[in-house]
């Protein structure tokens, strides 16, 4: 469940998060940026077809690889992917088919 506090496109508190991927057939992650404590789980839920979650940058020591498979593999509406972040830092990511359209996001782990 998403919290109610939104500031500048960034959602922050101590809970796990769900990020909508491609809601309304738009090329966005919603919310685009979240801040969570170490140990929080992020779940990406695809709301339309032909999307994925590909890491752009991750903190040193992180082995986060995004959605399973090569960056060219995409998934359909209803697919969900989750990961628990335990290493502090900023995780920037994008949707491979839609990166040129600006479909990017970030998770900051405190």
Annotated binding site for Cu cation, which residues?
Answer: 51, 95, 98, 103
Q: For residue 41, which of 1, 10, 77 has the smallest C-alpha distance?
A: 1
Q: Binding site membership: which residues?
A: 51, 95, 98, 103
* CA atoms within a 13 Å half-sphere pointing along the CA-CB vector of 84: 4
What is the C-alpha to C-alpha distance for residues 86 and 17, in angstroms, rounded to an integer?
14
Joined tokens for residue 9: 């496109």
């Amino acid at each position: 469940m998403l919290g109610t506090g939104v500031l500048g496109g960034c959602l922050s508190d101590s809970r796990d998060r769900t990020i909508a991927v491609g809601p309304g057939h738009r090329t966005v992650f919603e919310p685009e940026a979240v801040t969570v404590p170490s140990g929080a789980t992020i779940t990406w839920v695809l709301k339309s077809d032909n999307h994925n979650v590909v890491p752009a940058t991750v903190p040193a020591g992180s082995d986060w690889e995004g959605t399973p498979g090569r960056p060219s593999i995409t998934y359909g509406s209803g697919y969900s992917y989750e990961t628990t972040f335990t290493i502090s830092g900023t995780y920037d990511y994008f949707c491979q088919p839609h990166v040129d359209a600006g479909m990017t996001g970030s998770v900051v782990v405190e």
